[in-house]
Structure 1
């Protein structure tokens, strides 16, 4: 009997075999220290019992609410990893969320979500919605002391890479004002180098390979995460594919779309923001010169990341009232 062969290999962390089985490395030796400057405390909560999914809450210990606010805003953070790898427990995600909580004076909610290829899309997007619904359910419960100091009327969603893709689908699915999540009100979405795809290559995709990312890796993530038999023009990959929703007809909350100037995804992200603007959506696009994929999540305490926090703070402030043009 012929032995099963590896057909997809993500650096040994995740391997898909020809018989359909998946190997996932449980213990990874991360060459990245965990930062703890005592400015933020955190704890884990179960938010989806059916799928045994947890999220991590981060709360600043000393920061007062932003000017003019009596309570802290909420920021959802959806991690990247091509829908295949990543966790709230990974050092890069943990450090990033601590930086966001302290820098933005916000309670950060960092959910895990089901990963491919064991759970192909739309599983991750469904789990993102479930995390928002968890926050909504906590609004009518007592006992979650950490959420007693948050302003559920001022919620923001930040997605990094594949998390940015999820943020897009949440923005489309929840619609302007997120009325189905009352009293939770999403005020805006921050898409950091959202992981979008398409059959037709862009110039930046065919350009120089990044230090930590290549077109081969991007394609592998899509092969592992999309429904079997689908291609990169699937609506979950390409917001403007043939089968994608007509975004012109969708009412969406404001967006801040950010990408590094040296990213393989740069042109695709730029096209996304440009087309939404042409449709009349409230979209701000920022290209960070000289930066590659993961510039913030891999070095959240760098000088460029300090500037990034300032961008987020400004976006949240500008979209904190009801007199928005959506």
Structure 2
């Protein structure tokens, strides 16, 4: 794991790290992880139709759903689903410990899935958020946003903002018995969820005052892009990459407005000129076997050029979505780095 930090106008450009991971052999992974990754990408390839739609019936066989449960699991974490806007099916799953001796920070989490797949109830996401609740010492609010292509840009961004508004107006459900501190609220997301978290943070930082203070954003291998084919995209194509160019292009076509290309501001954020003055400190996680890594480093460089505090955490051997597999050593290191980021940015 490599960690770099910057605040203010320090002249550190993470793009200089782009050439560090020049290898063509597949990453070394346990067979259990290889099997899970193979099953996931096979399901994705089968359900992404050529006409831009999703075969949701077929994907339902691969995407097992976990119910919310008030009964705590073996680690003392319980969950509850909260309706935010029933008219459009917007809800969130709240994960909380049984007790706490102090107010806990809140992590509003946005799941990945290329804007088009998975839910807050997907077993993969449910397990990951339970782990974050337990190991970060936080209440986790997992956003179940509307999916593309049925709901294109900016639906997912609108949903993320509205969950924050609901949290600000109504607080957490009564069965969350632990105290929370909404001045220590973090937005987090993986892959497409990282993209959504960035845009929600940008909107929120530009909005009126609220009891919710965004103390930071945590972007796990965020999904950014553009018309350009980067060095990492070309080098890692055909090397067992979870996100290859074909899958990524399909996701952008499904999510972006009809007729838009990948230089649309939703995807190509590295030239963003109007970054909100109050945009919070950011943590950007980069994997050496992720085709999106060059875009992620450029994003971090953009934040730095605009005077924002940003911490880049690199895992040279990590595939895209490595954080979903607790058996990987890097997954544990990531959670420790996330906890350190939350703790270091919790002061008002």
Query: For the superposition of Structure 1 and Structure 2, which TM-score range results when normalised by the shorter chain?
Result: 0.7 to 0.9
Residue 294 of structure 1: aligned partner: 321
Q: Distance in 1 between matches of 2:108 and 2:177?
A: 13
Question: What is the TM-score of this pair, normalised by structure 2?
Answer: 0.79
CA contact (8 A) 1:77 1:111 kept: yes
Offset of residue 36 of structure 1: 4.8
Offset of residue 144 of structure 1: 2.2
The reply to whether residue 44 of structure 1 matches residue 53 of structure 2 is: no
Q: 1:137 to 1:38 in 2, by over 3 A?
A: same
**Contiguous gaps of at least 5 residues in structure 2:** 1-42
Equivalences, count: 299
Residue 320 of structure 1: aligned partner: 346
Q: Distance in 1 between matches of 2:202 and 2:207?
A: 13
1:153 corresponds, among 165, 183, 191, to: 183
1:259 corresponds, among 263, 277, 286, to: 286
Q: Distance in 1 between matches of 2:117 and 2:261?
A: 20
Q: Distance in 1 between matches of 2:191 and 2:177?
A: 27
Offset of residue 61 of structure 1: 2.7
Q: Distance in 1 between matches of 2:251 and 2:307?
A: 32
The reply to whether residue 180 of structure 1 matches residue 212 of structure 2 is: no
1:307 corresponds, among 320, 330, 333, to: 333
Q: Distance in 2 between matches of 1:104 and 1:93?
A: 16
Q: 1:240 to 1:30 in 2, by over 3 A?
A: closer
Q: Distance in 2 between matches of 1:173 and 1:31?
A: 33
2:49 corresponds, among 6, 10, 15, to: 15
Q: 1:24 to 1:116 in 2, by over 3 A?
A: same
CA contact (8 A) 2:242 2:290 kept: no
Please give the root-mean-square deviation of Cα atoms over the aligned residues, in Å: 2.6
Q: Distance in 1 between matches of 2:263 and 2:88?
A: 28
Q: Distance in 2 between matches of 1:262 and 1:283?
A: 22
Aligned residue for 2:270, secondary structure, equals coil
Q: Distance in 2 between matches of 1:104 and 1:72?
A: 10
Residue 96 of structure 1: aligned partner: 128
Residue by residue, what CA displacement relative to the aligned partner does 1:255-287 show, whole Å, maximum 9, x if unpaired?
A: 001111111011110111012112211011111
The reply to whether residue 274 of structure 1 matches residue 301 of structure 2 is: yes
CA contact (8 A) 1:88 1:112 kept: yes
Offset of residue 126 of structure 1: 0.6
Residue 6 of structure 1: aligned partner: none
Question: What is the TM-score of this pair, normalised by structure 1?
Answer: 0.84
Offset of residue 33 of structure 1: 10
CA contact (8 A) 1:276 1:283 kept: yes
Q: Distance in 2 between matches of 1:190 and 1:61?
A: 25
Q: Distance in 2 between matches of 1:207 and 1:32?
A: 35
The reply to whether residue 202 of structure 1 matches residue 230 of structure 2 is: yes
1:234 corresponds, among 256, 260, 264, to: 264
CA contact (8 A) 2:96 2:178 kept: no
The reply to whether residue 29 of structure 1 matches residue 62 of structure 2 is: yes
1:61 corresponds, among 84, 89, 98, to: 98
Say which is worse superposed, 47-56 or 103-112, in terms of deviation: 47-56
Residue 5 of structure 1: aligned partner: none
**Contiguous gaps of at least 5 residues in structure 1:** 1-8
CA contact (8 A) 2:189 2:196 kept: yes
Q: Distance in 2 between matches of 1:216 and 1:234?
A: 18
Offset of residue 170 of structure 1: 1.6
Say which is worse superposed, 204-213 or 220-229, in terms of deviation: 204-213
CA contact (8 A) 1:133 1:181 kept: no
Offset of residue 145 of structure 1: 3.6
Q: 1:179 to 1:216 in 2, by over 3 A?
A: closer
Aligned residue for 1:291, secondary structure, equals strand
Structure with more helix by fraction: 2
Offset of residue 197 of structure 1: 1.0
